[in-house]
Amino acid sequence: MEDIFEKSALNPYMTELCQSMSAIRRMDQIATEMAKTHGDHAIHNFSIGNPRILPPEEYNKIMVDTINDKSFFLPHGYAPNTGDKEGREAIAELFSKLQEVKVTYENVLLSSGCAGAINVFLRTVLSVRDEVILFSPYFLEYPYYIENYHGTSVYCDTHFEEGWQINRERFEKCFTANTRVVIINSPHNPTGIVYTVETIKMISEVCEKYMKKYGRTIWLLSDDVYCRVIRPGHKAHQIFKYYKFSCIAYSISKDLSLPGERIGALVMNPAIQLCERNIHALSMSNEFLAVYPPNRLHMRALPKLLKYTVDLTVYDKSQEIVEETLKKLKIEYIQPEGAFYIFPKLPDGIDDIKFCELLAKNFVVTVPGSAFGTKGFYRLSFCKGPEDIKKGMEQFEAVYNSVIEQLKKEQAK
């Protein structure tokens, strides 16, 4: 018999969370387990956004040169809670170009990956019962981050028919006297779309309107982890020009293919007069959460590293292969403009969870749209080279229609 003390050892919230896991991790685990039986070559894993292409060639030389550089004081000692100045300056230079607004190192905090940066931000600005507006479909871990700091998630649906852009009327209905933060993500996970200038202006206008109405600061937090993973002819959105109380979360996980190194940052709009105080507050959260800045080696290397990205044409080619297959099968989707995801639509009435489970049994692993708050869709990640994507999409093409037909028959029973 299970010991009552064993059963009650965790707080109820964490006990409940332990009963499940992230849908992305769950589907990735299914792929891993199947590979043990059938071999890696037989399993086509489109589930997780873990880049499978190598960092730029310059990466190794930069890191070796950084290790051999003896001029840096205490190269492996504790860093300031804000991160080393050299790394902060490099991030500031990058976002001065991307946002077309002058950013200095004093507007930057370095943290542990983009997820760490978002958690530090939420810990610093949220009070109990504060509300955070998310746009469905959303990155599935956002609600957990918010709940961890006793906030409440409020969901604003975006629609396939509207190109996943944000509808003003639905957005305005989400605001209350408890609204504290609005989180946006563009290029977007899971759809791959980029918010238009019109959308960004509208978001800014609405946030300004309700900030004045309720007499409290409403923050706009932009998850820009994919801001440099963007298709030719498209431009990442800018928020600093349009909304004062804005902050950007970023990491080099996707554009430099270094997710495991956990190099992230928060960039605060320099228009904020108390920016220095706010960065200091964020740095204290960095310390209290034991997130801390990234390792000092990568902070010292950032000024050189940020001059490069992975070969983004690889993702362009992989996306073309995915789209060709979807078009051949007459599957509806909105063309991605950045990141390395696509969010196809299922035929009406098909359960996305059952679809992904059955598809996985046919050696193609994807993530159901329900995990991102939007039923009737599924996410395909194409963060691999074209050869791997081509093999996976050949298998997808071979089994897709039979999987759909089987689900329709089950539904008709």
Domain boundary among 260, 279, 305: 305
For the four alpha carbons of 122, 125, 129 and 133, in that order, the dihedral sign comes to negative
Picking from 204, 194, 274, 193, the residue whose alpha carbon sits closest to that of residue 239 is 204
How many structural domains does the chain have? Answer: 2
Whether 239 and 147 share a structural domain: yes
Whether 359 and 288 share a structural domain: no
Domain boundary among 252, 282, 305: 305
Domain with 62 in it? 58-305
At what angle are helices 85-99 and 296-305 packed, to 10 degrees? 40
Whether 260 and 167 share a structural domain: yes
Q: d(Cα 91, Cα 224) in Å, to the nearest integer? A: 13
Whether 94 and 11 share a structural domain: no
Residue 8's alpha-carbon distances to 11, 12, 15, 16, 20, in angstroms, are 7, 8, 8, 11, 17
* Rounded mean pLDDT for each run of 10 residues along the chain, 413 residues in total: 72 75 68 71 83 94 93 82 95 98 98 96 97 97 95 98 98 98 97 97 98 98 97 94 98 96 96 95 91 88 97 96 98 98 97 94 94 96 95 96 94 76
Kindly report whether the global pTM for this prediction surpasses the value 0.75: yes
Extract the runs of DSSP E, i.e. beta strands, from 95-142: 108-112, 131-136
Tell me whether the omega of the peptide bond preceding residue 293 falls within 30 degrees of 0, making it cis.
no
Whether 42 and 102 share a structural domain: no
Whether 202 and 250 share a structural domain: yes
Could you please report the per-residue DSSP string of 297-318? HHHHHHHHHTT----THHHHHH
At what angle are helices 275-288 and 113-125 packed, to 10 degrees? 110
Whether 252 and 214 share a structural domain: yes
Whether 17 and 36 share a structural domain: yes
Whether 250 and 286 share a structural domain: yes
Structure-token match 């993530």, residue found: 367
What stretch of H or E contains 250?
strand 246-251
Tell me the backbone φ, ψ of residue 274, rounded to 5 degrees: -95, 35
